Amino acid sequence: MADINLLPQELKPNKTVLIMSKKLRKVSIILGFFLLIVAIAMGSVYFFYFKRTEGTLTKQTELENQIRSLEETEQRLVLIKDRVSKIRSVTSSGSIAEEVNITKRVFDLLPPGSHIANITIDRDVVRLGVVAENLTSASEYLKAVTAISGVKYVNLISFDFNPTFGYNIELNFIVAPEDPKPQIN
């Protein structure tokens, strides 16, 4: 159809205003698209940083869990190290096998009428208390212990007489240290 304008010519808008309105409409459409693109870009940036932050938080949680497990492992290692050092100190102190052998030999040498009153075994020292009923048993015991092999010194700690029990003899046996074994280089 043909353009029919029923309005009077005086009410017709000015040509420059019509051109300006067409240009403003184009600018508003362009700005609308630009605003839509900016909104989409901002939403995608927000989504990207949200996912990145979420990933960082999960990594942080994983690292905290690893730190806790490493701390527990460190505590276990410290306890194991302490136990190993104690084991080394015990094993490096050597054994008291020689001291026990000396005690066994002293038991074998006890004359009749004598018995052991007390025993203390330490590294390189055996302290032994013997009660003898009479002086003959006490002298036989003292004579026998002087001939024990593997003893460096025999120290007389005490020699007492009690009319009820008899003679109480307390001796320290100092064990001779073993010869160091030659090491092959």
In 3D space, the residue among 108, 148, 147 whose CA is nearest the CA of residue 130 turns out to be: 108
Q: Of 78-82, 101-105, 180-184, give the lowest mean pLDDT range.
A: 180-184
Closest listed residue to residue 160, CA positions, set 184, 138, 180: 138
Nearest to 96 by CA among 70, 75, 124: 124
More confident residue, 58 or 109: 58
**Is the Cβ–Cβ distance between 118 and 165 less than 8 Å?**
no
Structure confidence at residue 180 (pLDDT): 47
pLDDT tens-digit series, residues 63-85: 999 999 999 999 999 999 998 88
The verdict on pTM exceeding 0.75 is no
pLDDT in tens, 107-134: 888 888 888 888 888 777 889 899 998 8
**Band of pLDDT at residue 185, cut at 50, 70 and 90:** very low
Sign of CA dihedral 39, 43, 46, 48: negative
What are the beta bridge partners of residue 17?
A: none
- For residue 133, CA distances in Å to 40, 104, 143 come to 111, 21, 16
For residue 115, the cross-strand partners are 131
d(Cα 52, Cα 44) in Å, to the nearest integer? Answer: 12
Give residues with Cβ within 8 angstroms of 73, minimum separation 6: none
